[in-house]
Amino acid sequence: MQTFVTATNWNVSYSDSSDTDYVELNVFYIDYEAENEWGGHGVPIHHPEYNGLRFPITTTSRDAIDAARDFANSVGLIKVYEPLAR
């Protein structure tokens, strides 16, 4: 099993729910300079192109998560983790 890490400053996650037939790709970063609605700082900024993309569950949610992960890898959002040589 491969381990993936982010390849940019975008956070990448996948969400599914028992009442949907898809897995959703979440791509965002936190702007810690921006004031939020509670008077503090930190506002999520969603990727305009990739956030919210849906990957259909055909067999299991794991298959759809794998498809979402493969997509994120193909567009450079994540990459395979390769430990540094010591």
pLDDT tens per residue across span 36-50: 999 999 999 999 999
List all residues 6 or more positions away from 54 whose beta carbon is below 8 Å from its beta carbon: 22, 23, 24, 25
Residues 25 and 72 sit within 8 Å (Cβ to Cβ): yes
Q: Which structural domain range is residue 14 located in?
A: 4-80
Residue 1 CA to residue 59 CA, distance in Å, equals 20
Element (H, E) at 68: helix 61-74
Q: Is residue 85 part of a domain?
A: no
Low-confidence ranges of the chain (pLDDT < 70): none
Residue 74 lies in a domain: yes
| Number of domains making up the chain | 1
CB distance 57 to 16 below 8 Å: yes
What pLDDT, on the 0 to 100 scale, is given for residue 5? 94
Query: Looking at the domain assignment, is residue 76 inside a domain?
Result: yes
